[in-house]
């Protein structure tokens, strides 16, 4: 079970990395007009898109969701339509959608949508600010502008509160870990530059110790980490499992690097929550957790 959970986490990281790379390469035009108004049947092909659609008040029009959907609870009853890399075209057609909303570069899905006369909208979610921009864009397309504005105002207010909390404080060096081998401190993957997670580090008063990685997510070695010496290590796990057990395991494994400042000072943390790696409306919850870890009040 644990191996399956970790494989799921790794898949989410790969999905996020693919989306972020993809939108830098090309922004796809809709297969036909995706701005016909709010009376439509929608299939959402990424967890972030699902969360945004429900958060702006358009959930009643969502008839199908990504197989990786974990939130909100009411979305879990919707039929699954495969994942970003492996859409279930038969399932999508059976739902008779007139709009597919995805994320990043999705050429196969675009061809499928065009061939079947279905509008396709691809959201360009990369950095933190783009979450708000694309939430508003989705609100325009789905005729849910008021809901999108309310959502964005709430997110912005909470992000501003985090920013104000760390104003004037010295930045804290941090490593955000997105994956590792089960039960071992091997195969480490971490947050690099340019994505929403890297933006969150800065917002929460941190400095990413591997901001020079060549991509938004990538492998890091123990030798690199010992040389960089992060003051805080945070493992991100997006499956919603046993948070206390995961934290115990993380601290036991990282104890194998006793000279690392984060280990020496007891500042290894783990976030076990379904929002941990989703660039959607709950990104504010991750920001609020990070600022606790970086600037006090984080608890054990």
The DSSP call for residue 43 is: E
Find the domain containing 242 and state its range.
170-295
140 and 192 in a single domain? The answer is: no
**Which SS3 state, helix, strand or coil, does residue 182 take?**
coil
pLDDT in tens, 92-134: 999 999 999 999 888 899 999 999 999 999 999 999 999 999 9
pLDDT of residue 13: 47
Q: How far is CA 148 from CA 121, 170, 257, in A?
A: 16, 34, 45
Residue 1 is assigned to a structural domain of this protein: no
Which of 122, 157, 192 lies at the terminal end of a domain, its last residue? 157
Coil, helix or strand at residue 190: strand
C-alpha span between 39 and 233 (Å, rounded): 46
Same domain, residue pair 181 and 208? yes
Domain membership flag for residue 256: yes
Q: What is the pTM of this model?
A: 0.86
Domain boundary among 105, 125, 157: 157
- Say which CATH number the domain at 101 has: 3.40.50.1980
> Which of 127, 157, 187 is the last residue before a domain boundary?
157
Model confidence over 218-270: pLDDT tens digits?
A: 999 999 999 999 999 999 998 767 889 999 999 999 999 999 999 999 999 99
- Give the Cα separation of 75 and 63 in Å (integer): 9
Backbone angles phi, psi at 283, to 5 degrees: -60, -25
Tokens of 236: 């991100």
Judgement on whether residues 246 and 291 belong to the same structural domain of the protein: yes
Domain match, 147 and 189 both: no
How many Cβ atoms are within 10 Å of 279's Cβ, its own excluded? 31
Cβ contacts of residue 227 below 8 Å, gap of 6+?
none
193 in any annotated domain: yes
Domain count, the chain: 2
On whether both 148 and 179 belong to a single domain, the answer is no
pLDDT, tens only, 166-217 = 999 999 999 999 999 999 999 999 999 999 999 999 999 999 999 999 999 9
* Residue 15 covered by a domain: no
How confident is the model at residue 257, as a pLDDT? 98
Judge if 174 and 264 occupy the same domain.
yes
Same domain, 78 and 44: yes
pLDDT greater than 90 at residue 34: no
**30 and 116 fall within a common domain:** yes
Do 89 and 179 share a structural domain? no
């Amino acid at each position: 079970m644990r191996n399956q959970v970790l494989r799921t986490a790794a898949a989410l990281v790969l999905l996020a990395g693919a989306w972020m790379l993809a939108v830098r390469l090309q922004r796809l035009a809709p297969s036909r007009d995706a701005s016909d108004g709010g009376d439509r049947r929608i299939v959402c092909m990424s967890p972030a898109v699902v969360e945004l659609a429900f958060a702006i008040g358009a959930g009643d029009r969502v008839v199908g969701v990504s197989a990786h959907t974990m939130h909100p609870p009411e979305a879990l009853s919707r039929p699954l339509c495969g994942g970003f890399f492996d859409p279930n075209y038969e399932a999508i057609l059976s739902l008779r959608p007139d709009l597919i909303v995805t994320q990043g570069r999705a050429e196969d899905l675009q061809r499928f949508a065009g061939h079947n006369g279905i509008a396709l909208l691809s959201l360009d979610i990369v950095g933190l600010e783009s979450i708000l921009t694309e939430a508003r864009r989705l609100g325009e397309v789905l005729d849910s502008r008021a809901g999108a504005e309310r959502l964005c105002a709430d997110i912005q207010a909470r992000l501003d509160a985090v920013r104000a909390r760390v104003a004037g404080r010295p930045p804290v060096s941090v490593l955000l870990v997105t994956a590792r081998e089960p039960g071992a401190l091997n195969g480490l993957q971490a947050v690099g530059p340019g994505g929403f997670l890297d933006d969150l580090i800065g917002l929460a008063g941190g400095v990413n110790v591997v901001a020079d990685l060549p991509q938004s997510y990538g492998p890091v070695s123990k030798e690199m980490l010992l040389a960089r010496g992060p003051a805080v290590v945070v493992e991100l796990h997006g499956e919603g499992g046993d948070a206390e057990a995961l934290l115990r395991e993380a601290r036991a494994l990282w104890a194998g690097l006793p000279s690392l400042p984060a280990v020496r000072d007891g500042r290894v943390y783990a976030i076990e929550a379904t929002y941990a790696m989703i660039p959607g409306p709950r990104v504010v919850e991750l920001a609020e957790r990070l600022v606790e870890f970086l600037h006090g009040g984080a608890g054990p």
